[in-house]
Amino acid sequence: MELQAYLKLVVRVLIIASVLLGAIFRYARTFPSVPAWFGSAPWVLLLLTAALAFLVFLAEMPAIGLADLAMFALMCLIALTYLTSTARYGVADQLPFAGNFLLPIPVFFAVRLDRKFTPELLETALVPFALAASGLSLIEFYTDNFGARIFNFGSYWNEVGNVGYHASAVHYALLGMRNRPWGVLALPESSGALMAALALYFCAGRKTPLRLTCMASCIAATYASGSRTAILTIAVFGLVMAWHSDLPRLIKYLSGSVALIAAVVEVATLTTFYDPQLQIHGFIYLTLQNFWNFISPVQPTAFVIHLFMGGGGISVANPMTTFTGEVALLNWVAYLGVLPWLVMALLFFFASRRYAGASRFLPTWARRIRPAYLLMLAVTFGSLHYDAVSRYPSNVIVAVILALLLRPVRDSFPNAAAPVFSAPLAQSNRQLVHP
Protein backbone atom coordinates (compact mmCIF):
# COMPACT_ATOMS: atom_id res chain seq x y z
CA MET A 1 0.00 0.00 0.00
CA GLU A 2 1.44 3.34 -1.04
CA LEU A 3 1.87 6.07 1.53
CA GLN A 4 -0.98 8.22 0.23
CA ALA A 5 -3.50 5.38 0.42
CA TYR A 6 -2.23 4.44 3.88
CA LEU A 7 -2.71 8.02 5.11
CA LYS A 8 -6.28 8.04 3.81
CA LEU A 9 -6.97 4.75 5.58
CA VAL A 10 -5.65 6.16 8.86
CA VAL A 11 -7.76 9.30 8.43
CA ARG A 12 -10.87 7.19 7.83
CA VAL A 13 -10.17 5.25 11.01
CA LEU A 14 -9.64 8.47 12.98
CA ILE A 15 -12.92 9.99 11.78
CA ILE A 16 -14.91 6.83 12.53
CA ALA A 17 -13.20 6.64 15.94
CA SER A 18 -14.16 10.28 16.61
CA VAL A 19 -17.81 9.53 15.90
CA LEU A 20 -17.88 6.34 17.98
CA LEU A 21 -16.06 7.96 20.89
CA GLY A 22 -18.71 10.67 20.93
CA ALA A 23 -21.36 8.13 21.97
CA ILE A 24 -19.69 7.47 25.34
CA PHE A 25 -17.41 10.47 25.81
CA ARG A 26 -19.57 12.64 28.07
CA TYR A 27 -20.94 9.70 30.01
CA ALA A 28 -17.46 8.32 30.70
CA ARG A 29 -16.30 11.69 32.05
CA THR A 30 -18.83 11.48 34.89
CA PHE A 31 -16.87 8.65 36.55
CA PRO A 32 -14.12 9.91 38.90
CA SER A 33 -11.88 6.96 37.99
CA VAL A 34 -11.57 8.12 34.36
CA PRO A 35 -8.16 9.79 33.86
CA ALA A 36 -7.98 13.50 33.15
CA TRP A 37 -6.37 13.00 29.72
CA PHE A 38 -9.56 11.32 28.47
CA GLY A 39 -11.22 14.74 28.35
CA SER A 40 -8.86 15.73 25.53
CA ALA A 41 -9.22 12.51 23.51
CA PRO A 42 -11.71 13.83 20.88
CA TRP A 43 -9.66 16.93 20.19
CA VAL A 44 -6.46 14.86 19.81
CA LEU A 45 -8.21 12.64 17.27
CA LEU A 46 -9.43 15.68 15.33
CA LEU A 47 -6.00 17.33 15.41
CA LEU A 48 -4.41 14.15 14.03
CA THR A 49 -7.11 14.08 11.34
CA ALA A 50 -6.29 17.67 10.40
CA ALA A 51 -2.55 17.01 10.18
CA LEU A 52 -2.92 13.89 8.02
CA ALA A 53 -5.57 15.47 5.80
CA PHE A 54 -3.14 18.33 5.13
CA LEU A 55 -0.46 15.83 4.08
CA VAL A 56 -2.90 14.10 1.73
CA PHE A 57 -3.87 17.45 0.24
CA LEU A 58 -0.23 18.31 -0.43
CA ALA A 59 0.33 14.95 -2.07
CA GLU A 60 -2.74 15.11 -4.33
CA MET A 61 -3.22 18.84 -4.96
CA PRO A 62 -6.82 18.26 -6.12
CA ALA A 63 -8.93 20.61 -8.20
CA ILE A 64 -10.53 23.28 -6.03
CA GLY A 65 -14.24 23.96 -6.30
CA LEU A 66 -16.35 26.84 -5.04
CA ALA A 67 -17.49 24.82 -2.03
CA ASP A 68 -13.86 24.10 -1.12
CA LEU A 69 -13.03 27.79 -1.30
CA ALA A 70 -16.03 28.66 0.86
CA MET A 71 -15.05 26.10 3.50
CA PHE A 72 -11.44 27.27 3.45
CA ALA A 73 -12.60 30.89 3.87
CA LEU A 74 -14.78 29.79 6.78
CA MET A 75 -11.84 28.01 8.40
CA CYS A 76 -9.62 31.09 8.05
CA LEU A 77 -12.27 33.42 9.48
CA ILE A 78 -12.96 31.15 12.45
CA ALA A 79 -9.22 30.65 13.04
CA LEU A 80 -8.70 34.43 13.01
CA THR A 81 -11.53 34.89 15.49
CA TYR A 82 -10.10 32.15 17.69
CA LEU A 83 -6.60 33.67 17.71
CA THR A 84 -7.75 37.20 18.49
CA SER A 85 -10.15 35.98 21.18
CA THR A 86 -7.48 33.77 22.73
CA ALA A 87 -5.24 36.80 23.03
CA ARG A 88 -8.06 38.64 24.80
CA TYR A 89 -9.57 35.97 27.04
CA GLY A 90 -6.97 33.21 27.28
CA VAL A 91 -6.52 29.76 25.76
CA ALA A 92 -8.67 27.87 28.28
CA ASP A 93 -11.59 30.24 27.76
CA GLN A 94 -11.64 29.65 24.01
CA LEU A 95 -11.19 25.86 23.89
CA PRO A 96 -14.95 25.17 23.61
CA PHE A 97 -15.14 27.57 20.66
CA ALA A 98 -12.26 25.80 18.89
CA GLY A 99 -13.72 22.37 19.58
CA ASN A 100 -17.20 23.34 18.39
CA PHE A 101 -16.42 25.34 15.26
CA LEU A 102 -12.78 25.02 14.17
CA LEU A 103 -11.57 21.44 14.64
CA PRO A 104 -14.40 19.74 12.67
CA ILE A 105 -13.56 21.67 9.47
CA PRO A 106 -10.51 19.52 8.53
CA VAL A 107 -12.87 16.51 8.65
CA PHE A 108 -14.68 18.06 5.69
CA PHE A 109 -11.48 18.22 3.62
CA ALA A 110 -10.41 14.72 4.71
CA VAL A 111 -13.67 13.18 3.46
CA ARG A 112 -13.64 15.42 0.40
CA LEU A 113 -10.27 13.91 -0.64
CA ASP A 114 -11.19 10.27 0.02
CA ARG A 115 -13.38 8.44 -2.50
CA LYS A 116 -13.57 5.42 -0.24
CA PHE A 117 -15.36 7.39 2.45
CA THR A 118 -18.90 6.67 1.28
CA PRO A 119 -22.38 7.10 2.75
CA GLU A 120 -22.29 3.37 3.51
CA LEU A 121 -19.09 3.79 5.53
CA LEU A 122 -20.72 6.59 7.50
CA GLU A 123 -23.59 4.25 8.30
CA THR A 124 -21.23 1.65 9.72
CA ALA A 125 -20.29 4.28 12.31
CA LEU A 126 -23.79 5.66 12.89
CA VAL A 127 -25.36 2.27 13.70
CA PRO A 128 -23.22 1.51 16.80
CA PHE A 129 -23.19 5.22 17.66
CA ALA A 130 -26.99 5.41 17.66
CA LEU A 131 -27.42 2.21 19.67
CA ALA A 132 -24.84 3.25 22.28
CA ALA A 133 -25.95 6.89 22.57
CA SER A 134 -29.67 6.13 22.75
CA GLY A 135 -29.10 3.18 25.10
CA LEU A 136 -27.05 5.26 27.53
CA SER A 137 -29.63 8.05 27.41
CA LEU A 138 -32.42 5.62 28.27
CA ILE A 139 -30.36 4.11 31.09
CA GLU A 140 -29.67 7.60 32.45
CA PHE A 141 -33.38 8.50 32.27
CA TYR A 142 -34.44 5.32 34.07
CA THR A 143 -31.80 5.40 36.81
CA ASP A 144 -32.29 9.13 37.50
CA ASN A 145 -36.04 8.74 37.92
CA PHE A 146 -36.70 5.17 39.02
CA GLY A 147 -33.43 3.76 40.38
CA ALA A 148 -29.97 4.55 41.69
CA ARG A 149 -28.23 7.28 39.68
CA ILE A 150 -25.28 5.98 37.63
CA PHE A 151 -24.17 9.03 35.63
CA ASN A 152 -23.72 11.96 38.00
CA PHE A 153 -23.39 14.92 35.65
CA GLY A 154 -23.92 17.36 38.52
CA SER A 155 -20.78 16.18 40.31
CA TYR A 156 -18.79 16.49 37.10
CA TRP A 157 -19.99 20.08 36.50
CA ASN A 158 -19.06 21.00 40.07
CA GLU A 159 -15.65 19.37 39.71
CA VAL A 160 -14.77 21.37 36.60
CA GLY A 161 -16.20 24.56 38.06
CA ASN A 162 -19.10 24.92 35.63
CA VAL A 163 -22.01 26.39 37.56
CA GLY A 164 -24.18 27.16 34.54
CA TYR A 165 -25.69 23.68 34.33
CA HIS A 166 -28.51 22.41 36.49
CA ALA A 167 -30.95 19.51 36.65
CA SER A 168 -33.93 19.87 34.34
CA ALA A 169 -37.40 18.41 34.79
CA VAL A 170 -40.37 18.50 32.40
CA HIS A 171 -43.82 16.99 32.20
CA TYR A 172 -43.80 13.69 30.27
CA ALA A 173 -46.91 12.21 28.71
CA LEU A 174 -47.95 9.19 30.82
CA LEU A 175 -45.11 9.70 33.33
CA GLY A 176 -45.71 13.17 34.76
CA MET A 177 -42.85 15.39 35.97
CA ARG A 178 -39.50 13.64 35.57
CA ASN A 179 -35.84 14.60 35.35
CA ARG A 180 -34.46 14.75 31.85
CA PRO A 181 -31.27 12.89 30.89
CA TRP A 182 -28.31 15.03 29.82
CA GLY A 183 -27.69 12.73 26.88
CA VAL A 184 -24.86 12.28 24.44
CA LEU A 185 -24.37 16.05 23.94
CA ALA A 186 -24.66 16.84 27.68
CA LEU A 187 -27.71 19.04 27.03
CA PRO A 188 -31.18 17.45 27.08
CA GLU A 189 -32.57 19.56 24.24
CA SER A 190 -29.52 19.15 22.00
CA SER A 191 -29.26 15.43 22.68
CA GLY A 192 -32.95 15.01 21.90
CA ALA A 193 -32.54 16.84 18.59
CA LEU A 194 -29.66 14.56 17.59
CA MET A 195 -31.64 11.45 18.56
CA ALA A 196 -34.61 12.69 16.53
CA ALA A 197 -32.39 13.30 13.50
CA LEU A 198 -30.88 9.82 13.80
CA ALA A 199 -34.36 8.29 14.04
CA LEU A 200 -35.25 10.01 10.77
CA TYR A 201 -31.95 8.87 9.24
CA PHE A 202 -32.75 5.21 9.88
CA CYS A 203 -36.35 5.68 8.79
CA ALA A 204 -35.26 7.10 5.42
CA GLY A 205 -32.98 4.24 4.37
CA ARG A 206 -33.39 0.52 3.89
CA LYS A 207 -35.80 -1.13 6.32
CA THR A 208 -33.55 -3.85 7.73
CA PRO A 209 -34.07 -5.27 11.25
CA LEU A 210 -30.92 -3.54 12.48
CA ARG A 211 -31.93 -0.14 11.09
CA LEU A 212 -35.45 -0.48 12.48
CA THR A 213 -33.97 -1.35 15.88
CA CYS A 214 -31.79 1.76 15.72
CA MET A 215 -34.79 3.87 14.72
CA ALA A 216 -36.94 2.57 17.60
CA SER A 217 -34.14 3.10 20.10
CA CYS A 218 -33.56 6.68 18.90
CA ILE A 219 -37.30 7.47 19.06
CA ALA A 220 -37.40 6.20 22.64
CA ALA A 221 -34.35 8.35 23.49
CA THR A 222 -36.06 11.35 21.86
CA TYR A 223 -39.04 10.87 24.14
CA ALA A 224 -36.76 10.43 27.15
CA SER A 225 -34.96 13.70 26.36
CA GLY A 226 -38.15 15.63 27.06
CA SER A 227 -37.29 17.99 24.20
CA ARG A 228 -40.42 19.32 22.52
CA THR A 229 -38.30 20.68 19.68
CA ALA A 230 -36.97 17.18 19.03
CA ILE A 231 -40.47 15.71 19.01
CA LEU A 232 -41.58 18.48 16.68
CA THR A 233 -38.64 17.66 14.40
CA ILE A 234 -39.82 14.06 14.06
CA ALA A 235 -43.40 15.20 13.48
CA VAL A 236 -42.56 17.76 10.80
CA PHE A 237 -40.05 15.65 8.90
CA GLY A 238 -42.25 12.56 9.32
CA LEU A 239 -45.10 14.45 7.67
CA VAL A 240 -42.87 15.48 4.75
CA MET A 241 -41.43 11.97 4.35
CA ALA A 242 -44.89 10.39 4.39
CA TRP A 243 -46.15 12.83 1.77
CA HIS A 244 -43.24 12.14 -0.59
CA SER A 245 -43.03 8.39 0.01
CA ASP A 246 -43.92 5.58 -2.41
CA LEU A 247 -46.38 4.05 0.03
CA PRO A 248 -49.98 3.33 -1.02
CA ARG A 249 -52.15 6.43 -0.82
CA LEU A 250 -54.16 5.21 2.19
CA ILE A 251 -51.03 4.42 4.24
CA LYS A 252 -49.50 7.71 3.13
CA TYR A 253 -52.50 9.69 4.37
CA LEU A 254 -52.61 7.73 7.61
CA SER A 255 -48.90 8.30 8.23
CA GLY A 256 -49.21 11.97 7.39
CA SER A 257 -52.21 12.30 9.70
CA VAL A 258 -50.31 10.73 12.59
CA ALA A 259 -47.39 13.11 12.03
CA LEU A 260 -49.75 16.09 11.79
CA ILE A 261 -51.55 15.10 15.00
CA ALA A 262 -48.17 14.73 16.71
CA ALA A 263 -47.25 18.25 15.58
CA VAL A 264 -50.54 19.65 16.91
CA VAL A 265 -50.06 17.85 20.23
CA GLU A 266 -46.54 19.26 20.36
CA VAL A 267 -47.86 22.80 19.94
CA ALA A 268 -50.42 22.14 22.67
CA THR A 269 -47.77 20.87 25.08
CA LEU A 270 -45.60 23.90 24.34
CA THR A 271 -48.33 26.20 25.58
CA THR A 272 -49.38 23.94 28.47
CA PHE A 273 -46.25 22.67 30.20
CA TYR A 274 -43.58 25.22 29.34
CA ASP A 275 -42.58 28.26 31.29
CA PRO A 276 -44.39 31.31 29.82
CA GLN A 277 -41.14 32.66 28.35
CA LEU A 278 -40.68 29.43 26.40
CA GLN A 279 -44.20 29.26 25.03
CA ILE A 280 -44.71 29.96 21.36
CA HIS A 281 -45.38 33.69 21.81
CA GLY A 282 -42.37 33.85 24.13
CA PHE A 283 -40.21 32.00 21.62
CA ILE A 284 -41.13 34.54 18.92
CA TYR A 285 -40.36 37.36 21.34
CA LEU A 286 -36.96 35.87 22.16
CA THR A 287 -36.21 35.46 18.45
CA LEU A 288 -36.90 39.15 17.85
CA GLN A 289 -34.88 39.97 20.95
CA ASN A 290 -31.88 38.21 19.41
CA PHE A 291 -31.99 40.55 16.42
CA TRP A 292 -32.60 43.65 18.55
CA ASN A 293 -29.71 42.87 20.89
CA PHE A 294 -27.43 42.39 17.93
CA ILE A 295 -28.33 45.61 16.12
CA SER A 296 -28.25 47.85 19.20
CA PRO A 297 -24.68 47.62 20.56
CA VAL A 298 -23.39 49.65 23.47
CA GLN A 299 -20.01 50.38 21.80
CA PRO A 300 -20.49 50.95 18.05
CA THR A 301 -16.79 50.82 17.15
CA ALA A 302 -16.19 47.49 18.85
CA PHE A 303 -19.47 46.21 17.49
CA VAL A 304 -18.42 46.72 13.87
CA ILE A 305 -15.45 44.42 14.50
CA HIS A 306 -17.59 41.85 16.28
CA LEU A 307 -20.19 42.08 13.53
CA PHE A 308 -17.77 40.48 11.07
CA MET A 309 -15.56 38.46 13.38
CA GLY A 310 -17.92 37.50 16.17
CA GLY A 311 -17.10 37.56 19.84
CA GLY A 312 -15.05 34.40 19.65
CA GLY A 313 -16.17 31.77 22.03
CA ILE A 314 -18.98 30.82 24.32
CA SER A 315 -18.02 32.23 27.69
CA VAL A 316 -19.00 34.84 30.24
CA ALA A 317 -15.95 36.90 29.30
CA ASN A 318 -17.10 37.19 25.71
CA PRO A 319 -18.90 40.55 25.32
CA MET A 320 -20.99 39.17 22.48
CA THR A 321 -22.83 36.85 24.87
CA THR A 322 -24.99 39.86 25.70
CA PHE A 323 -26.28 39.64 22.12
CA THR A 324 -27.48 36.05 22.43
CA GLY A 325 -30.83 34.57 23.34
CA GLU A 326 -32.83 31.34 23.14
CA VAL A 327 -32.35 30.67 19.41
CA ALA A 328 -29.15 28.70 18.82
CA LEU A 329 -28.91 29.33 15.08
CA LEU A 330 -29.01 33.07 15.71
CA ASN A 331 -26.52 32.81 18.56
CA TRP A 332 -23.99 31.61 16.00
CA VAL A 333 -24.00 35.15 14.60
CA ALA A 334 -22.67 36.37 17.94
CA TYR A 335 -20.15 33.55 18.30
CA LEU A 336 -18.87 33.59 14.69
CA GLY A 337 -19.79 36.98 13.26
CA VAL A 338 -22.10 37.83 10.37
CA LEU A 339 -19.64 37.00 7.59
CA PRO A 340 -18.68 33.50 8.82
CA TRP A 341 -22.35 32.82 9.56
CA LEU A 342 -23.28 33.74 5.98
CA VAL A 343 -20.49 31.54 4.60
CA MET A 344 -21.76 28.63 6.68
CA ALA A 345 -25.31 29.24 5.44
CA LEU A 346 -23.96 29.33 1.89
CA LEU A 347 -22.38 25.89 2.36
CA PHE A 348 -25.69 24.46 3.54
CA PHE A 349 -27.34 26.06 0.50
CA PHE A 350 -24.74 24.47 -1.80
CA ALA A 351 -25.42 21.08 -0.21
CA SER A 352 -29.18 21.41 -0.70
CA ARG A 353 -28.71 22.56 -4.28
CA ARG A 354 -26.44 19.60 -4.97
CA TYR A 355 -28.96 17.16 -3.55
CA ALA A 356 -31.86 18.73 -5.47
CA GLY A 357 -29.93 18.47 -8.74
CA ALA A 358 -28.83 14.91 -8.02
CA SER A 359 -32.40 13.84 -7.22
CA ARG A 360 -33.35 14.79 -10.76
CA PHE A 361 -30.29 13.76 -12.77
CA LEU A 362 -28.45 11.21 -10.61
CA PRO A 363 -31.14 9.31 -8.69
CA THR A 364 -28.80 6.46 -7.72
CA TRP A 365 -26.43 8.83 -5.94
CA ALA A 366 -29.36 10.73 -4.42
CA ARG A 367 -30.84 7.54 -2.94
CA ARG A 368 -27.49 6.68 -1.35
CA ILE A 369 -27.04 10.10 0.24
CA ARG A 370 -30.71 10.81 1.12
CA PRO A 371 -30.64 9.49 4.73
CA ALA A 372 -27.49 11.49 5.53
CA TYR A 373 -28.92 14.62 3.91
CA LEU A 374 -32.10 14.22 5.95
CA LEU A 375 -30.02 13.81 9.13
CA MET A 376 -28.20 17.07 8.41
CA LEU A 377 -31.44 18.97 7.79
CA ALA A 378 -33.16 17.50 10.85
CA VAL A 379 -30.35 18.20 13.30
CA THR A 380 -30.19 21.79 11.97
CA PHE A 381 -33.95 22.21 12.38
CA GLY A 382 -33.62 20.74 15.86
CA SER A 383 -31.16 23.52 16.72
CA LEU A 384 -33.85 26.19 16.62
CA HIS A 385 -33.71 26.32 20.41
CA TYR A 386 -30.53 24.69 21.74
CA ASP A 387 -27.46 23.98 19.63
CA ALA A 388 -27.32 20.42 18.28
CA VAL A 389 -25.06 21.06 15.27
CA SER A 390 -21.81 22.47 16.61
CA ARG A 391 -21.50 20.31 19.74
CA TYR A 392 -19.23 17.26 19.51
CA PRO A 393 -19.82 14.72 17.98
CA SER A 394 -22.68 16.25 15.96
CA ASN A 395 -20.24 18.69 14.39
CA VAL A 396 -18.07 15.83 13.10
CA ILE A 397 -21.09 14.01 11.64
CA VAL A 398 -22.37 17.16 9.93
CA ALA A 399 -18.89 17.88 8.50
CA VAL A 400 -18.78 14.38 7.01
CA ILE A 401 -22.24 14.78 5.45
CA LEU A 402 -21.37 18.19 3.98
CA ALA A 403 -18.25 16.67 2.41
CA LEU A 404 -20.22 13.75 0.95
CA LEU A 405 -22.72 16.18 -0.56
CA LEU A 406 -20.27 18.78 -1.84
CA ARG A 407 -17.38 16.78 -3.26
CA PRO A 408 -17.37 16.27 -7.06
CA VAL A 409 -19.99 13.73 -8.12
CA ARG A 410 -17.37 11.73 -10.04
CA ASP A 411 -15.61 11.06 -6.74
CA SER A 412 -18.82 9.48 -5.47
CA PHE A 413 -18.93 7.22 -8.55
CA PRO A 414 -15.28 6.23 -9.14
CA ASN A 415 -16.34 3.13 -11.09
CA ALA A 416 -19.41 4.55 -12.77
CA ALA A 417 -20.11 3.70 -16.37
CA ALA A 418 -19.59 6.40 -18.95
CA PRO A 419 -23.32 6.90 -19.74
CA VAL A 420 -23.88 8.29 -16.26
CA PHE A 421 -21.92 11.39 -17.31
CA SER A 422 -22.86 11.38 -20.97
CA ALA A 423 -24.28 14.17 -23.13
CA PRO A 424 -27.84 14.46 -21.74
CA LEU A 425 -26.39 15.10 -18.30
CA ALA A 426 -23.40 17.17 -19.31
CA GLN A 427 -24.86 20.51 -18.35
CA SER A 428 -26.32 19.28 -15.05
CA ASN A 429 -23.08 17.53 -14.16
CA ARG A 430 -21.12 20.70 -14.66
CA GLN A 431 -23.47 22.33 -12.17
CA LEU A 432 -23.22 19.41 -9.75
CA VAL A 433 -19.47 18.86 -9.75
CA HIS A 434 -18.58 22.34 -8.55
CA PRO A 435 -21.46 24.02 -6.71
269 part of a folded domain: yes
Residue 245's pLDDT is 63
296 part of a folded domain: no
Element (H, E) at 170: strand 169-172
Spatial distance between the Cα atoms of 193 and 185, rounded to a whole number of angstroms: 10
pLDDT by residue (tens digit) across 24-65? 999 998 888 888 888 889 999 999 999 998 888 888 777 788
pLDDT by residue (tens digit) across 237-258? 877 777 666 655 666 566 666 6
299 part of a folded domain: no
293 part of a folded domain: no
Residues 72-79: contacts with CB under 8 Å, at least 24 apart: 73/343, 74/105, 74/340, 74/343, 74/344, 74/347, 75/102, 75/105, 75/106, 77/309, 77/336, 77/337, 77/339, 77/340, 77/343, 78/102, 78/105, 78/336, 78/340
308 part of a folded domain: no
81 part of a folded domain: yes
Domain that holds residue 89: 3-279+324-433
> What is the chain's mean pLDDT, rounded?
78
pLDDT by residue (tens digit) across 282-317? 555 555 665 565 555 545 555 566 666 665 555 555
Residue 217's pLDDT is 95
pLDDT by residue (tens digit) across 148-175? 888 887 666 666 556 555 567 777 877 8
402 part of a folded domain: yes
Tell me what percent of the residues of the chain surpass a pLDDT of 90.
Answer: 30
Residue 110's pLDDT is 92
86 CB contacts (<8 Å, ≥6 apart)?
93, 94, 312
DSSP state of 62: P
260 part of a folded domain: yes
Domains in the chain: how many in total? 1
Residue 105's pLDDT is 93
pLDDT by residue (tens digit) across 94-118? 788 888 888 999 999 999 888 899 9
Mean pLDDT of 398-426: 61
Residue 415's pLDDT is 47
Spatial distance between the Cα atoms of 24 and 403, rounded to a whole number of angstroms: 25
